[in-house]
Amino acid sequence: MRRLPVYMLVDVSGSMSGEPIESVKSGLQMLVDALRKEPRALETAYLSVITFNSRAQQIVPLTDLASFQLPEITASGCTALGEALKLLCDCRKKEIIKTTTEVKGDWKPMVFILTDGIPTDDDDVLSEGISEFHAEKWGAAVSCAAGPDADKDFLDKVTPECVVELATADKSRLSAFFKWVTASIATTSKGINEQGDGATGLGQLPPPPPELTIV
């Protein structure tokens, strides 16, 4: 069976503490609940959560929606986004089934990156993270700059032409972001079965809600 892998990269640095992190948690739970009601998503979508603060950590390995359980998330520390990108590529190598002549592998993974700050890794880690990320083929890969302090320029280097922005990282805007991610996954899980390939850019995803500005 061909899976639709979805990786969520979530900033859990200190600046996310309080309302933002609570909104991320409820947003992720809402995403899982909603996708469980859509049969094609429930059958094909697999979800992984990678968090990053001073270190990057895959807190949920690629898991089918039916078994998915969201662990506790707390916010503290810096913003190791470069390390998170490297970890993402490592996880992808381990977890994604490749297409061979014998087996049709997984669909190209979707990636959603959410951050409210500026990456704090060393420059070489950052550039390694970007180049490793670009060395892989992804389905839709979208970055979300949550709030005014997010580094949009860096995000544009990671996911060119695929950066969306939230004016602030408050509950209603983050909730709108997660709803849009949910719709994007649902649409893709439907589309790959009809079109034979997943979405690759913003153009093939549902239109973002008013809270999300395309950068």
Residues interacting with another protein, by CB under 8 A?
1-2, 22, 25-26, 29, 32-33, 36-40, 42-44, 65-72, 100-104, 190-191, 193-197
Strand partners, 11: 52
Between 33 and 153, CB nearer to another protein: 33
What's the min distance (Å) between Cβ of 196 and another protein? 5
What's the min distance (Å) between Cβ of 162 and another protein? 18
What 3 state SS string does 178-204 have? HHHHHHHHHHHHHHHHHHCCCCCCHHH
Give, as one character, the DSSP assignment of residue 109: P
Between 63 and 168, CB nearer to another protein: 63
Cα–Cα distance between 23 and 28 in angstroms, integer?
A: 8
Identify the burial level of 194 via C-beta atoms within 10 angstroms of its C-beta, where 0-12 means exposed, 13-18 middle and 19 or more buried.
exposed
* β pairing state of 4-11 and 45-52: parallel
Cα–Cα distance between 201 and 55 in angstroms, integer?
A: 29
What's the min distance (Å) between Cβ of 126 and another protein? 30
Residue type, 14: G
What's the min distance (Å) between Cβ of 44 and another protein? 5
Between 21 and 81, CB nearer to another protein: 21
Between 24 and 212, CB nearer to another protein: 24
Between 76 and 127, CB nearer to another protein: 76
What's the min distance (Å) between Cβ of 116 and another protein? 19
